[in-house]
Chains A and B, each alone.
Chain A
């Protein structure tokens, strides 16, 4: 069965610094996708970035990048130049053929950015 693990319940980072949010996954499916979502205090789920299992390069979207280490089954989110508005819950999720189009979510990491 597929599983996503986020071991950091909470993280703190100072404004303008970079932060890494950890995500490890488990799957026997050779083809899968990894997603990161942001959930601010207002509650909505905002898609940030995607990494496919066959992608040769790490995904990047603006200040977000994904440190994808396939052999270690990790897909850590790196946020560069943190902003106060980055304070939110962050969820890692996986989709694979084993689950067709369904997403399996981790338990999330609460990031707090301080001035």
Chain B
């Protein structure tokens, strides 16, 4: 089983719909992140959370919201989807207690298409 699980893996939806992408982890990490990947732009940070009660905006948070329901769960919502939010979305986790040399561990991604 994957340590970082994203659901759904693929989603096609219409403009204006509310969408939730879910991420759960079994790694016991305290830190979780949501990234967006667009062709030619690499990965950009949307939101991140260092603990259950901690939510921080990233580079491109407009149009998105998040919820850290538990240490193991971090969901990303698009309240009213628009076509330019079509992208590949990644959830990632890291363990702050192990030091700054620890990598972030990524889920397999959610491919989201908004028509």
Q: Which residues in A have some Cβ–Cβ distance to B below 8 Å? A: 4, 31, 33, 35, 37, 42-45, 47, 50, 52, 91, 93, 95, 101-103, 105-108
Q: Which of B58, B106, B108 contacts A102 (CB 8 A)?
A: B58
The size of the chain B interface, using a CB distance under 8 A, is 26
Closest Cβ of chain B to A64, distance in Å, is: 13
Closest Cβ of chain B to A109, distance in Å, is: 11
Closest Cβ of chain B to A110, distance in Å, is: 11
Q: Which residues in B have some Cβ–Cβ distance to A below 8 Å? A: 31, 33, 40-45, 48, 50, 58, 88, 90, 92, 94, 96, 100-101, 103-109, 111
Distance, CA A51 to CA B96, complexed state (A): 17
Q: Which of A35, A43, A101 contacts B111 (CB 8 A)?
A: A43
Minimal Cβ-Cβ distance residue in B for A39 = B37
Residues of B within 8 A of A44 (CB): 106-109
Minimal Cβ-Cβ distance residue in B for A6 = B42
- The answer to whether A50 touches B42, judged by C-beta atoms less than 8 angstroms apart, is no
Residues of B within 8 A of A45 (CB): 43, 90, 92, 106, 109
Answer whether A43 and B88 are a contact pair too, CB < 8 Å, given A102-B48, A105-B44, A107-B42: yes
* Total contacts A-B at CB 8 Å: 55
Centre residue among A31, A37, A102, A106 by max chain B CB count within 10 A? A102
Distance, CA A42 to CA B50, complexed state (A): 29
Closest Cβ of chain A to B62, distance in Å, is: 17
Distance, CA A52 to CA B101, complexed state (A): 7
- The answer to whether A33 touches B42, judged by C-beta atoms less than 8 angstroms apart, is no
Residues of A within 8 A of B43 (CB): 45, 91, 93, 103, 105
Answer whether A108 and B42 are a contact pair too, CB < 8 Å, given A43-B88, A43-B109: yes
